[in-house]
Structure 1
């Protein structure tokens, strides 16, 4: 599996290096997290609709943005973004688990009454960099190898929505900080984890939207969430 993924990585690298070189900084980078508050974000936890006293799974602790994992839901930017480079530094401080960064997010609770319409960049331990299609879609060159038979593909409940990443071993050991970079330019999304190119997709069905962080069963800490607007050529 490792050799197959390296071969795929080479193919994608050839196409992606040119793409990345065409982007340029449009304005200075800005942090989406001020280290003290959740200003600029709002919480959507479906279970809170019937239990208004339910605690929020998102908080600030010791200068880090923390998602507790339960109750499940999303922390969503108030603003909409397009053409940007997003740098996220995160870690699972306790047990390995699941979470994700959702880009081009729009309609809330569009899937399973929980997930906003979006393209998820997976953070789950061992699978960082997978794409998950959530009522939006994206393509990669070797779709059958990484998504399965075409007749199973889809963007709604019960369909093959996962597109497996390109590498093994890009994540740091449990408890160490990982750096994920997501570049969303036009209808292309490119993802790096700790400097490794782990995914590159084109022909996305959306090119702008909100950014969301998941509370999905595991505690995750974020110490950096920085966005740099980019200009397309």
Structure 2
């Protein structure tokens, strides 16, 4: 930063002007308190921490910020792509690594009726997803669990159908609107599933509102991508799953509460 030099006679003039316009001490003190309050209000809350109010509401953390406790790779497969780094749950990306060391991450616990929230961001041209009601009876999680789509809507190298865009119930329900932030920024996801009533939220916008296991649900399943996957969307209870699609993706502030 350049230093500003003021001649002596100018400095004296400024000092006089300053004395004439000085604030009363009490007023200046009040301004300082107000500024301090504003700074506190805009400060970012610590990540991966539940407030007392959240705990009382039944929330629990899915990611503790320091380890993969509570998670494992689908069907016990070995993987070297997931880790906890700087308070983030991180999946390494690679455009060339198609080895057997890549794998989807699932929770140890299973959930039936729940509300889930998470913050995420994805690398340019990236693709991933949050799946739920996942069972381990099939080769891959997507064969059983519906997917909340996470993708680079703007720069993905292939043409995307509406049902492939961020917030979609993948291959079932397209998002009502595009609500994802530009790549590199954090997005906030909320998934609510309660007795078949399913909602996907993205950055405060409800983008999917549907009912599972209805005639319409069955029609979407049997006439679309899932027509040959008999186990898709059948389970009423299952694991939460984070998809390793070969793209770099980060998660934080993952929490869930079970609904009665």
Could you tell me the TM-score, scaled by structure 1's length? 0.66
TM-superposed CA distance for 1:208, in Å, is 1.8
Gaps of at least 5 residues in structure 2 are 1-54, 95-100, 154-164, 214-233
Q: Deviations over 1:31-60 (max 9, x none)?
A: 0101111111111389x6xxx6xx521111
TM-superposed CA distance for 1:162, in Å, is 4.0
| Equivalent residue number for residue 148 of structure 2 | 121
Bigger shift: 25-34 or 197-206? 25-34
Where in structure 2 are the equivalents of 1:210-225 lying within 5 Å?
210-225=239-254
Q: C-alpha distance in 2, partners of 1:217/1:58?
A: 11
Where in structure 2 are the equivalents of 1:28-39 lying within 5 Å?
28-39=58-69
Secondary structure of 2:259's match? strand
Secondary structure of 1:215's match? coil
TM-superposed CA distance for 1:97, in Å, is 0.9
Contact 2:144 2:235 in 1 (8 A): no
Q: Which has the larger radius of gyration?
A: 2
Q: C-alpha distance in 1, partners of 2:146/2:249?
A: 20
Gaps of at least 5 residues in structure 1 are 1-24, 133-160
| Equivalent residue number for residue 208 of structure 2 | 199
Q: C-alpha distance in 2, partners of 1:162/1:72?
A: 26
Structure (1/2) with the larger helix percentage: 2
CA RMSD of aligned residues (A): 2.3
TM superposition outliers: structure 1 runs of 4+ over 6 Å = none
Contact 1:107 1:116 in 2 (8 A): no
Q: C-alpha distance in 1, partners of 2:237/2:251?
A: 23
Structure 1's 69 and 185: CA in aligned 2 closer, same or farther, altered over 3 A? farther
The number of residues matched between the two structures is: 169
Matched, 1:226 2:250: no
Could you tell me the TM-score, scaled by structure 2's length? 0.59
Which has the higher relative contact order, 1 or 2, with Cα contacts under 8 A spaced 6 or more apart?
Answer: 1
| Equivalent residue number for residue 163 of structure 1 | 173
Where in structure 2 are the equivalents of 1:1-233 lying within 5 Å?
27-44=57-74, 55-69=79-93, 71-92=101-122, 94-110=123-139, 115-126=142-153, 127-132=165-170, 161-168=171-178, 170-204=179-213, 205-231=234-260
Q: C-alpha distance in 2, partners of 1:201/1:129?
A: 13
